[in-house]
């Protein structure tokens, strides 16, 4: 069903907000299961009760990685960094160990850009803490620098491609794997909508 814009807004475009009106929207795109199926079930699917996730060892050119793509929402303010939240848990108990998750990302503007072969890496090392139990959960926050390629900043309707890997920690590596259960991408928004036909 196509919804027509309200007659009073047709010539005005979106309603924008500023200062205290700025809020955030978190999108939760699906992972690319075609890649996992094409790699014969790599990464491995893990179940804990009714929860499911993908188990990541330290990456070693072995397809143990996750992919996803998203279209940047029209409400994005085009002036702030984008935050990726990775929700994960430990496959086994770990005592004062570390794990390191990396997001590689890139973007392009459809029609205008040539799809790039490059990517940008952001890694966050997380300590498990003392006596962390099997299935202890964590949220890992990684920042996408929206203007790293100025003037080719991330803008609305860009395609944002994401790859998730576990890479080696600087010290005291977790012995077990890290299970990624879910992820979300948070954008700061400054629009209430787009009034386009």
Phi, psi of 108 (to 5 degrees): -150, 155
% pLDDT > 90, the chain: 71
Which residues are registered as beta bridge partners of 56?
178
Confidence class for position 23, pLDDT limits 50, 70, 90:
confident
Domain ranges (residues) in the chain: 25-186
Residue 26: half-sphere exposure toward Cβ, Cα within 13 Å: 9
Which pTM was predicted? 0.83
CA angle 111, 113, 115 (to 5 degrees): 105
What does the pLDDT look like over 69-83, one tens digit per residue? 999 999 999 999 999
pLDDT at 197: 41
Which residues are registered as beta bridge partners of 117?
none
Q: What is the mean pLDDT of the chain?
A: 87
Say which residue, 147 or 63, is predicted with more confidence. Answer: 147
CATH architecture group of domain 25-186:
Sandwich (2.60)
Q: Within 9-56, where are the H helices?
A: 33-38
pLDDT of 59 above 60 = yes
pLDDT at 37: 60
Site of tokens 């794997």: 177
Under a CB-based contact definition with an 8 Å cutoff, are residues 90 and 135 in contact?
A: yes
């Amino acid at each position: 069903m196509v919804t027509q814009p309200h007659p009073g807004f047709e010539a005005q475009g979106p309603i924008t907000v500023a200062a205290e009106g700025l809020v955030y929207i978190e999108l939760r795109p699906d992972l690319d299961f075609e890649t996992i199926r094409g790699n014969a079930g790599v990464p491995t699917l893990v179940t804990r009760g009714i929860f499911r996730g993908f188990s990541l060892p330290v990456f070693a050119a072995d397809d143990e990685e996750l992919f996803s793509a998203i279209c940047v929402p029209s409400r994005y303010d085009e002036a702030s960094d984008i935050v990726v939240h990775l929700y994960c848990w430990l496959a086994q108990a770990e005592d004062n160990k570390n794990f390191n998750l990396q997001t590689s990302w890139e973007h392009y503007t459809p029609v205008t850009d040539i799809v790039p072969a490059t990517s940008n890496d952001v890694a966050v090392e997380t300590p498990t803490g003392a006596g962390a139990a099997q299935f202890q959960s964590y949220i890992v926050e990684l920042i996408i620098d929206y203007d790293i390629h100025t003037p080719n900043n991330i803008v609305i309707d860009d395609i944002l491609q994401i790859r998730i890997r576990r890479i080696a920690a600087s010290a005291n590596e977790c012995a077990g794997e890290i299970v990624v259960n879910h992820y979300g991408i948070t954008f700061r928004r400054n629009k209430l909508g787009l009034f386009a036909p």
